[in-house]
Amino acid sequence: MSTDARSEEDYGLAEAFQAHDPYPAYARIRDEAPTHYNPLVQGWVITRYADVAAAFRHPALSANRMAAYAKVLPPPLLAKVEPLIRNLSSWILMMDPPGQSRIRSLLGAAFTPRFVAAMRERIAAIVDDLVDSVADREGFDLIEAIAYPLPVRVIGDMLGLPPEDHDRLKAWSDALATFLGVARIDPAVVARAVQSIVEMEAYFNQVIAARRADPGDDLVSLMVAAHDDEGRLSDQELVSSCCMILFGGHETTTNLIGNGMYLLLRHPEQAERLREDPSLIDTAIEEILRYEAPVQRMGRISVGPVELGDATIPPMQRVYMVMAAANRDPAEFADADSFDVGRKGSRHLSLGVGVHYCLGAALGRLEGKLAIPALLERFPDLTLDPDDPPEWMDNITIRGFEKLPVRTGKASAAS
């Protein structure tokens, strides 16, 4: 489809946003209008694998969405949301090189393979503790009991945050997730996000002050030392990085574990393959990420003309790279709509590409590799609860569950 003109056709995108299974709608878009302007999101939608991969690397597609967002707001509203724009503008997810490279280099030192490997024993202990807490139950909510608390405890340990703060940290993160995942700007959603950022910044400023007075070996102490001794982080970059790590450290991993267990319970033959051959966990994690990407799309702003396939995107346009559609592109993946824990060579796009590849990818993968086999091993009769259906999040960017009720089979075993 050759298009640099705008159409009022949404190609089923509204259906994708409302459905628990958006993939048939994404397939239609990929076939009929792989790169097109969509009135529903007032921006361009990219769905083919080759085009999404190219878009991640395109020099005319800027990650600095907050600056473009600020430009379209009237001054009174801009003043109200300024704390949110200021904070998110210093997230490396929403920056371009060279500023992005400077901050990423510093933070990357805390996510080295050696650091992640050193976390294995601690993560395994947390997994065992969480699984033990539900081991004797007939059923439980897998999100509430396992998928949410595991990454929150892990990232809390990394940042040196007390366990009693976890609930409010989650509430702040949830408000940001909702803001980043709405199709149209909702004043109430924006207000909650602004309040959350203000409270989160106040919280982390107290943490930063405490680390200056009494440094430890946690990640906040390492960032404070770099800020103070090397001048590499501004005050805003320091507190924004704390907020970003907290948000990214648990949102993606919670949904990797939740989505993964849902897929395995929906495909019991695949769960049994994994039980019989635990070495498949590496490919299983990549297949979960491909098949049910925790982050379904990523936004950009065109700062110049962008040619993708036979489409031309003009400058100063919103652009949405739909990894969820690209990951099921049959031009890249054989039998793309099948879930296969043994799939080899999967080059999915769920964690980004190039300079915006997910900073905490190795840590999230490790948490999934420890949590999912532990659940399969400890609960051989685990099933989805037939009387209490799962509830998907109402979010077009982040794919995951509000709740995922499961049955352990222990009641029938006892009878």
> What confidence category does residue 106 fall into, taking pLDDT thresholds of 50, 70 and 90?
confident
Rounded Cα distance between 406 and 379, Å, is 10
**DSSP annotation string for 15-69:** HHHH-S--HHHHHHHHHH-SEEEETTTTEEEE-SHHHHHHHHH-TTEES-HHHHH
Mean pLDDT over each residue of the chain, to the nearest integer:
90
Q: What SS3 string covers 218-268?
A: CHHHHHHHHHHHHCCCCHHHHHHHHHHHHHHHHHHHHHHHHHHHHHHHHCH
What is the predicted pLDDT for the residue at 44?
95
* Cβ proximity of 66 and 94 under 8 Å: yes
Answer yes or no: is pLDDT of 413 > 60. Answer: no
Query: What's the average model confidence in pLDDT over 344-366?
Result: 93
Range 279-283 contact pairs with CB under 8 angstroms and sequence separation of 24 or more: 280/341, 280/342, 281/369, 281/372, 281/373, 282/369, 283/341, 283/342, 283/343, 283/344, 283/346
Q: Is the pLDDT of residue 78 over 60?
A: yes
Sorting pLDDT into bands at 50, 70 and 90, what band is 1?
very low
Q: What is the pLDDT of residues 222-273, one digit of tens each?
A: 888 876 555 678 889 999 999 999 888 888 999 999 999 999 999 999 999 9
* Banded model confidence at residue 7, pLDDT cuts 50, 70, 90: low
- Give the pLDDT score at 19: 65
CA distance 404 to 255: 11
**Single-letter code of the amino acid located at 75:** P
Contact (Cβ atoms closer than 8 angstroms) between residue 159 and residue 218:
yes
pLDDT band per the 50, 70, 90 thresholds, residue 183: low
Q: Which CATH class is domain 13-414?
A: mainly alpha
More confident residue, 166 or 232: 166
Q: What is the mean pLDDT of residues 320-346?
A: 97
Residue type, 332: E
**DSSP string computed for 125-184:** HHHHHHHHHHTT-SEEEHIIIIITHHHHHHHHHHHT--GGGHHHHHHHHHHHHHHHT-SS
The pTM is what?
0.92
- pLDDT-derived band at 330 (thresholds 50, 70, 90) equals very high
Q: CA–CA separation, 177 vs 403, rounded Å?
A: 16
